[in-house]
Structure 1
């Protein structure tokens, strides 16, 4: 519980890295063994780290920037190992679910009250509400468990139905008040996976078809409605939903440094475009990347902090980020890893518990496939789902032995 509170309350990379690093010696006792799957995933991530290290030798970079990248790419490995070791000691998946929900419930109450006490009724809009928090990965995961529990008893961890319902409402309200596009898409993906309909069977295909039609109709409405960026209420959030595809995939042909609105509307795509341009200068870099410590040249001083930055170490698109730092071979390894996680839902199982554990792993994989487009995936600064993944890998191994 303490780990979940700290990981959620402190979203900085440094805090997460230190927590993961310091925790491992306490959860792994002598002769403690990892499962075959956990070893394979760890080595897969280590191979990406090694490619980045070796490549950085042949490219000029500041030592401090190299060290930062090394730590960034190492954090998911530490998170996976710590999660595996900690859950192995607890060895009770229902206790894990209960802890996730209770801690998330505490954060949801705090977040909702914080908004209530700071709310100015004369100036209520999405931006002022989001100043109290832009996302919460723990609440997202807890809400997915709670919603899934109404369909699948595996996720039911409280004796009283009314408490489950109340927790769902409270966390759901807080979840909505983040107005996070990533969280809204994430909850759909996780619930589909947890309830076993994320795979492309006949049943799964019907769910995805309905979802696709709903999304299509939603965007038909958005592109036909007159929605402005600076309008009050939900208008600004709907505007962000409207520009989401172009923000990711369509870089602006020209950047007006004095027009920040135009800049941010295409920021993710612009970052990725600049990274690809840098690789094009020396096509050999496509194979093994530019190595740890390499920076992306934005071609102008962007107002990403008080002083502004022209050279940045990270971008939002996780696929281009991995390609830029470690090359196409590492990107293929990354894609294989994410595919392996998602495909767990297709594996045969001889018990209901094993199948549900596979669906949990598949849900995390599906979430990473999506989040790698917009928040760097497993290499996001405040991401800690690798911690959850490690724990579920232990339970997956236990089910395999039963």
Structure 2
């Protein structure tokens, strides 16, 4: 297959996410993964894929022997649970096909996505005549996991042997940084911080890294205290809306008591409400449900009809914001253990003396740490708009390419 065809398909796999249509995304991703499929994978990559396949199989057999969920719900769950596998394989295939150029092509894709995002933002502001954070994000997108990786690639281009002329490098940095900022996604900002600290080696424990991590935590606590005491308004200016979202970060996913009749408390802490409902309903199902979940097609009854970001009305939720809660629902504690094992295999380093591979080890360690956090607040790999599975698959494949090349 010619270069242009595969490269355009790879770009399409990222651009299709902008349409927020999971059915279309699944078809495009599956088609691209199929026609670029390789006949050989490394042991570590097989271990990672096997973890996600095991979660799917546990859900399947649990439903087969213990439940009788609706056929539509079961088919939908299969597509959602397959998404991490397809995304990882996509990135892996791309890296193995284009070898040393893989990261350069990823950077070009990221810059292209950033330009599209900035154009959509400008159109949204002028067409809808708004500067509201929530409205702009509704029209132009809530986050993008791909762009922070691209920013890190450009920022540390020499560490990853990415050849970008100096002037173009600063231009690319500005475009991608502007796009990431305009998402106003707390998750993306945290992702960017984690990845930068990882590449700098601050997650490899030593005196220097402990000092840096400690200072970062202290600076974060001081900044949060200032934001908290400024008491930003939920519906205020552009800046206040964003600071209000920052203020509720430590609360919204960990709160244990929520007043369902107080719309503010309920909406601000809906992620926690989902978790509480899921845990209660799974544990109410008894020992079997706790161990292996409620199977394919299972849902959580929220207790009221809710309007989603897509504009649909839902009461029975098949997937939650929290990936751990979702896996608990589908495949129980057994599934959660396997999911954690997959993150371990992703973060596991390759023993080498090659500097570039060592830098990839650091980035993948940071990816594992971020994946833990992302899984708690944003479904990890299972989110229908997720693109980091493609990027992490690419990193795994590229590291293997370099390792074989330098053996």
If the length of structure 2 is used for normalisation, what is the TM-score? Answer: 0.89
- CA 1:86–1:348 in structure 2 vs 1: closer, same or farther (change >3 Å)? closer
Question: Which residue does the alignment assign to 1:334?
Answer: 339
Question: Which residue does the alignment assign to 2:70?
Answer: 62
Give yes or no for contact 2:282–2:328 (8 Å, CA) kept in 1.
no
Question: Which residue does the alignment assign to 1:16?
Answer: 25
Give yes or no for contact 1:48–1:330 (8 Å, CA) kept in 2.
yes
Give yes or no for contact 1:154–1:356 (8 Å, CA) kept in 2.
yes
Measure how far apart 1:104 and its partner are. 2.0
Distance 1:53 1:41 in 2: 19
In structure 1, runs of 5+ residues without a counterpart are none
- CA 1:340–1:60 in structure 2 vs 1: closer, same or farther (change >3 Å)? same
Measure how far apart 1:252 and its partner are. 4.5
Output one character per residue of 1:86-131: Cα deviation in whole Å (capped at 9) or x when no partner. 3212122xx2222222222223223223333443598533234323
Question: Which residue does the alignment assign to 1:87?
Answer: 95
The 5 A counterparts of 1:13-52 are: 13-28=22-37, 32-52=39-59
Measure how far apart 1:47 and its partner are. 1.3
Distance 2:379 2:281 in 1: 19
Question: Which residue does the alignment assign to 1:296?
Answer: 300
Q: What SS does the aligned partner of 1:199 have?
A: coil
Output one character per residue of 1:53-80: Cα deviation in whole Å (capped at 9) or x when no partner. 1111111210111111112111211222
Give yes or no for contact 2:45–2:396 (8 Å, CA) kept in 1.
yes
Distance 2:188 2:33 in 1: 29
Output one character per residue of 1:307-326: Cα deviation in whole Å (capped at 9) or x when no partner. 63221111001111111110
Match of 1:72 among 72, 77, 80: 80
- CA 1:33–1:125 in structure 2 vs 1: closer, same or farther (change >3 Å)? same
Distance 2:358 2:24 in 1: 34
Question: Which residue does the alignment assign to 2:353?
Answer: 350
Match of 1:239 among 234, 238, 244: 244
In structure 2, runs of 5+ residues without a counterpart are 1-6
Do residues 386 (structure 1) and 393 (structure 2) align? Answer: no
Distance 2:312 2:34 in 1: 40
Give yes or no for contact 1:251–1:267 (8 Å, CA) kept in 2.
no
Distance 1:194 1:52 in 2: 36
Output one character per residue of 1:206-248: Cα deviation in whole Å (capped at 9) or x when no partner. 2211211111011111221121101112000100110122111
Question: Which residue does the alignment assign to 1:186?
Answer: 191
Match of 2:213 among 204, 208, 216: 208
- CA 1:216–1:82 in structure 2 vs 1: closer, same or farther (change >3 Å)? same
The 5 A counterparts of 1:302-341 are: 302-304=306-308, 306=311, 308-341=313-346
Question: Which residue does the alignment assign to 1:286?
Answer: 290
Distance 2:103 2:268 in 1: 38
Question: Which residue does the alignment assign to 1:176?
Answer: 181
Give yes or no for contact 1:302–1:310 (8 Å, CA) kept in 2.
yes
Measure how far apart 1:279 and its partner are. 1.2
Distance 1:157 1:389 in 2: 21
Give yes or no for contact 2:47–2:342 (8 Å, CA) kept in 1.
no
If the length of structure 1 is used for normalisation, what is the TM-score? Answer: 0.90
Do residues 361 (structure 1) and 364 (structure 2) align? Answer: yes
Give yes or no for contact 1:54–1:291 (8 Å, CA) kept in 2.
yes
Considering only aligned residues, what root-mean-square deviation do their CA atoms show, in Å?
Answer: 2.2
Match of 1:254 among 245, 259, 263: 259
Distance 1:306 1:132 in 2: 15
- CA 1:170–1:81 in structure 2 vs 1: closer, same or farther (change >3 Å)? closer
- CA 1:204–1:348 in structure 2 vs 1: closer, same or farther (change >3 Å)? farther
Distance 1:350 1:307 in 2: 52
Give yes or no for contact 1:316–1:373 (8 Å, CA) kept in 2.
yes
Question: Which residue does the alignment assign to 2:13?
Answer: 7
